[in-house]
């Protein structure tokens, strides 16, 4: 077992750098060996021999190499410390023009954070100095990390990405600080000489031996403090790389004016190649998945079937017909019929023969399948023209169309998986599994859209349903202890007999929880006007049957306005053995 001092010396003169090779499968071992043989000394000049990327793309999964250079490292120390070494990598997007400005700090956003897998063996390259064996060696340890560069949450005019690596040595041994904090003389250290040692034989000193250390008379030179052990290092230099979006995607849903009882919704997916690159993009995957329904592809042309080739500035639109599973009677309900729509796109950018970055875009949105009150309202006639004429009359809870009992009966057909409500300037959608298992946590996907004209910030919490207290009132009876035999005593009658109170307390039983929300409080926002946010509520069923929440409460953090959502999806809990 190595001592604490040796643990702290492993990273004493270590240097950490990152490099993004132009070709992900480059033979970096041969490249570094050739650069070292040609006389490259520092780590920066060694890594310059590796062809690197000069342009990165958002939504790309890029291969980053983390290089750690150790000085005078033995083979035993390397084998012992490598399993205890944790390598982390962060990627920041910022505007390099703000670095030289007078502002307090540049605007940046973290777009990736990850660590090296424990089971991954790094590449080791050893460079032994020739001619002088005492000079030592340099050991290059190289890890490979795949980083997904997501889009930043803030708007940056000229974005650049910089990778920052960190290495941490995790040791179970605690450094020995007793030698520095102990006021007593350490062991195996000789004591100072006694100047009055010749007087120890004097008979005048009977019981006390004279003692005067030489350190009290001589000038004491303070011992040099040892350097603190090094257990973590960071990358000192950063090489910013320009990053741009390679493609943009947008989906729009349009409800056609139809006279049928089942409206038709058309989804158009727009794919556009940005002009920032001078190469082609091939989208080999374009999938749309509709919860509680199916999405039928209406683009049957061969050129619009994956793989789809896009050149710079090309714009392609894919058409889908969204068919929900709701029956015709569900559209008569006054509650909004909203389903979730998942969009996933994947493509390859043909930069060169050895460099073909892959991008992936995936997001979720909601689709409103609610039917207007009178779809036959149609367009305006020639005799009556009016600006901003609505295509149909809105449906409000107070207007006729179906009774409350009919709405409640029809609502059960689609509330098992998804439900939505619009109130207070926001639209909230809940979606979850149709059936759950007892004692197995499940989640509700919550999708909220800010439809107001001001930024909003919310706090969401779920309140479980509790059993109602028995509302029966007991008739006031005269207490046996308050009955007086003398009529002249003016005593008030007891409100409730003490025997009744004792019986109620004895027969009272505890309220067992049937459903527990493991997400105590969710913070959402700030949401700008027209933006959306997706989160989840984790629930735990503890009983079988139909379970319910009392309410999901949404609190506006700016105005303290409270919205109680009581119409929630049904939860059917089944036993595992069933």
**Is the fold of 4-174+230-242 the same as that of 415-466+512-574?**
yes
Measured CA distances, 317 to 73, 135, 249, 286, 542 (Å): 59, 65, 10, 11, 48
Give which of 117, 106, 137, 140 is closest to 29, Cα–Cα: 140
Q: pLDDT at position 471, please? A: 47
Q: pLDDT at position 373, please? A: 54
Q: pLDDT at position 20, please? A: 93
Show the CA angle centred on residue 394, arms to residues 389 and 398, nearest 5°. Answer: 140
Distance CA 534, CA 341 (A): 12
170 token code pair: 């995790």
User: Is the bond into 80 cis (omega within 30 degrees of 0)?
Assistant: no
Alpha helices (H) along 182-299? none
Give which of 160, 165, 153, 166 is closest to 18, Cα–Cα: 165
Strand, coil or helix: what is 266? strand
CATH 2.60.40.10 fits 415-466+512-574, yes or no: yes
Distance CA 36, CA 236 (A): 22
User: For residue 167, what are the contacts with CB-CB under 8 A and spacing of at least 6?
Assistant: 11, 14, 16, 68, 85, 86, 87, 88, 232, 233, 234
125 token code pair: 């390259």
Surface-to-core class of residue 28, CB atoms within 10 Å of its CB (0-12 exposed, 13-18 middle, 19+ buried): buried
HEC per residue, 475-508: CCCCCCCCCCCCCCCCCCCCCCCHHHHHHHHHHC
271 token code pair: 């794919």
570 token code pair: 């049904």
Task: Answer for the pair 345, 281: CB distance below 8 angstroms, yes or no.
Answer: no
Domain boundaries, the chain: 4-174+230-242, 247-375, 415-466+512-574
Number of residues assigned to the chain: 578
CATH 2.60.40 fits 247-375, yes or no: yes
Task: Answer for the pair 326, 256: CB distance below 8 angstroms, yes or no.
Answer: no
Instruction: Determine what percent of the chain falls in helix, strand and coil, rounding each to the nearest 5.
Output: 15, 40, 50
Give which of 152, 145, 148 is closest to 360, Cα–Cα: 148
Give which of 115, 132, 169 is closest to 7, Cα–Cα: 169
Distance CA 46, CA 65 (A): 14
Q: Residue 67's beta-bridge partner residues?
A: 17, 142
Q: pLDDT at position 483, please? A: 47
Measured CA distances, 501 to 295, 419, 467, 479, 491 (Å): 63, 45, 20, 11, 21
409 token code pair: 């009966």
Kindly give the confidence (pLDDT) of every residue in the chain, 578 residues in length, as a single tens digit, with 9 standing for 90 and above.
455 456 667 888 889 999 999 998 888 888 888 888 887 777 888 888 889 999 999 999 999 999 999 888 888 888 888 888 889 999 999 988 766 555 555 678 899 999 987 667 888 888 876 655 555 788 899 999 999 999 998 888 889 999 999 998 886 544 444 444 455 666 666 777 888 888 877 777 777 788 888 777 766 565 555 667 778 888 888 889 999 999 999 999 887 765 555 667 889 999 999 988 788 999 999 999 988 788 888 888 888 888 899 999 899 999 999 888 766 555 555 456 778 889 999 999 998 888 999 999 998 888 877 765 554 444 444 444 445 555 444 444 433 333 333 333 333 333 445 566 777 788 888 888 888 888 889 988 888 888 888 888 899 988 887 655 554 444 445 545 444 444 455 666 656 667 777 777 766 555 567 888 888 888 887 888 888 888 888 988 888 888 888 888 989 888 888 888 888 888 888 887 65
* pTM score of the predicted model: 0.59
Q: pLDDT at position 176, please? A: 46
Give which of 150, 191, 189, 137 is closest to 61, Cα–Cα: 150
Q: pLDDT at position 155, please? A: 84
Topology (CATH) of 4-174+230-242:
Immunoglobulin-like (2.60.40)
Show the CA angle centred on residue 290, arms to residues 287 and 296, nearest 5°. Answer: 65
Strand, coil or helix: what is 411? helix
Name the residue with tokens 């009581």: 566
Q: pLDDT at position 258, please? A: 55
Q: pLDDT at position 397, please? A: 40
Element (H, E) at 179: helix 178-181
What's the sign of the alpha-carbon dihedral 198, 201, 204, 208? positive
Q: pLDDT at position 394, please? A: 45
Q: pLDDT at position 549, please? A: 84
Task: Answer for the pair 91, 162: CB distance below 8 angstroms, yes or no.
Answer: yes
Name the residue with tokens 């001589």: 218
What's the sign of the alpha-carbon dihedral 212, 216, 220, 224? positive
Measured CA distances, 530 to 296, 353, 426, 533 (Å): 28, 42, 10, 10
Give which of 282, 331, 347 is closest to 308, Cα–Cα: 282
Distance CA 546, CA 407 (A): 19
Task: Answer for the pair 213, 220: CB distance below 8 angstroms, yes or no.
Answer: no
User: For residue 356, what are the contacts with CB-CB under 8 A and spacing of at least 6?
Assistant: 348, 349, 350
290 token code pair: 């509709």
């Amino acid at each position: 077992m190595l001592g604490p001092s040796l643990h702290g010396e492993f990273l004493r003169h270590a240097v950490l750098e990152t490099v993004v090779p132009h070709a992900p499968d480059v033979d970096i071992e041969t490249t570094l060996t050739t650069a070292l043989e040609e006389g490259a000394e520092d780590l920066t000049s060694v890594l310059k021999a590796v062809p690197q990327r000069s342009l990165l793309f958002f939504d790309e999964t890029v291969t980053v190499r983390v290089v750690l250079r150790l000085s005078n490292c033995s083979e035993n120390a390397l084998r012992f410390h490598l399993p205890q070494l944790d390598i982390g990598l962060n990627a920041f997007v910022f505007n390099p023009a703000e670095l030289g400005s007078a502002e307090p700090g540049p605007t940046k956003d973290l777009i990736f954070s990850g660590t090296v897998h424990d089971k991954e063996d790094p590449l080791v390259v050893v460079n032994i100095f020739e001619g002088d064996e005492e000079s030592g060696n340099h050991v290059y340890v190289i890890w490979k990390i795949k980083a997904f560069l997501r889009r930043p949450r803030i708007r940056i005019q000229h974005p650049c990405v910089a990778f920052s690596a960190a290495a941490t040595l995790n040791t179970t041994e605690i450094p020995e600080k007793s030698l520095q904090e102990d006021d007593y003389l350490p062991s195996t250290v000789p004591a100072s000489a006694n100047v009055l040692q010749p007087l120890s034989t004097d008979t005048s000193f009977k019981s006390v031996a004279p003692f005067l250390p030489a350190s009290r008379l001589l000038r004491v030179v303070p011992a040099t403090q040892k350097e603190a052990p090094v257990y973590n290092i960071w990358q000192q230099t950063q090489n910013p790389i320009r990053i741009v979006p390679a493609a943009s995607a947008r989906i729009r849903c349009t409800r056609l004016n139809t006279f049928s009882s089942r409206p038709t919704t058309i989804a158009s997916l727009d794919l556009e190649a940005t002009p920032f690159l001078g190469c082609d993009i091939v989208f080999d995957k374009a999938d749309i998945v509709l919860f509680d329904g199916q999405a039928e592809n209406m683009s049957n042309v061969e050129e619009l079937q994956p793989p789809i080739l896009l050149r710079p500035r090309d714009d392609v639109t894919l058409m889908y017909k969204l068919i929900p599973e709701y029956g015709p009677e569900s559209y008569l309900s006054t509650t909004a019929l909203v389903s979730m729509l998942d969009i996933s796109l994947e493509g390859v950018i043909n930069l060169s023969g050895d460099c073909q970055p892959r991008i992936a875009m995936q997001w979720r949105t909601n689709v409103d399948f609610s039917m207007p009150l009178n779809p036959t309202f149609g367009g305006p006639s020639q005799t009556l023209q009016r600006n901003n004429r609505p295509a149909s009359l809105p449906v409000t809870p107070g207007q006729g169309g179906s009774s409350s009992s009919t709405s409640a009966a029809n609502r059960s057909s689609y509330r098992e998986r998804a439900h939505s409500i619009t109130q207070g300037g926001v639209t909230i959608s809940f979606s979850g599994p149709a059936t759950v298992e007892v004692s197995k946590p499940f989640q509700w996907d919550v999708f909220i859209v800010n439809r107001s004209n001001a930024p909003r910030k919310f706090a969401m919490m779920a309140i479980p349903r509790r059993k109602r207290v028995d509302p029966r009132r007991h008739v006031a009876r005269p207490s046996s202890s308050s009955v007086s035999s003398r009529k002249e005593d003016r005593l008030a009658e007891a409100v409730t007999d003490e025997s009744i109170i004792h019986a109620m307390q004895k027969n009272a039983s505890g309220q067992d929880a049937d459903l527990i929300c493991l997400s105590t409080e969710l913070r959402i926002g700030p949401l700008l006007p027209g933006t959306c946010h997706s989160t989840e509520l984790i629930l735990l069923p503890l009983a079988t049957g139909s379970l319910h929440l009392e309410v999901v409460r949404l609190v506006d953090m700016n105005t303290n306005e409270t919205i109680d959502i009581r119409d929630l999806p049904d939860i059917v809990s089944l036993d595992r053995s069933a």
